[in-house]
Structure 1
Amino acid sequence: MMENIKGIRRLYRKGNGQGTTYRARLNSWSFYELQRQIEYKARWEGVPVSYVAARGTSVNCSICGSRTTKYPNGRRTLHCPRCDISIDRDVNAARNILAKGGVRFTPDGPPEVCTEAMKGNETTTPILRVDGGKVTPG
């Protein structure tokens, strides 16, 4: 699951309050090349890649879903008064982006894929470059 980064270069233009050196460094790496490499590696491993819009992901609580508007301790920390949790806005946004794609997080545990059809499926998928001789046609 990836954020749609189309138009990200508009964030680093002259007049945004950033210095020339900072803008040059951020615009020097190829956003598309990173995206292309991730897609290539995911396709190689058989992992689907999908894109979601990131709008609102940093202001909605990833635990309870409520919308928050106040940012204590600067602007990088999100505090949800409903579930009384403080979390980094980038971490919160990443969790919300994953949730849009069907992955959920528990407050104290690892992510879980929300696909009920996969439960109990004990079959192993052969990796062709390693298990090429084990593949049976059919």
Structure 2
Amino acid sequence: MADIVDTAVNAGSFNTLVAAVKAANLVDTLKGAGPFTVFAPTDEAFAKLPEGTVDGLLQDIPKLTQILTYHVVPGKVTSSEVVKLDSAKTVEGSSVKIDASNGVKVNDATVTTPDVTADNGVIHVIDKVLLPA
């Protein structure tokens, strides 16, 4: 099995996320032992951000790192565990809200594909980029 970064690269729908992870120098971390749970926005999710946002973040590495680490929860939290939670503390330090009453929402993003397994954790694909308060 591949690690979280290679799994995202191989999927082909996370090019923006992978580029951002590389820019923020988080590749080695997300290739590390983990385990990690990553709420991974697709390229389409990044495209929903206002024009220029991604380019701006690539120029502001501290802010980019804050946003990326807000998508990561320590440990391997599968969908069967996620649905029992109402929040999860992120690597960034603050928590994301989880609502499993109608599908699974993380803040205002919907999980479109749960439980993409990697050898150092799990990826849940989401349709929006999560922004910390």
Q: Could you say which TM-score interval applies, normalised by the shorter chain?
A: under 0.3
- Return the TM-score normalized by structure 2: 0.26
Structure of larger gyration radius:
1
Question: Larger relative CO (CA 8 A, sep 6+): 1 or 2?
Answer: 2
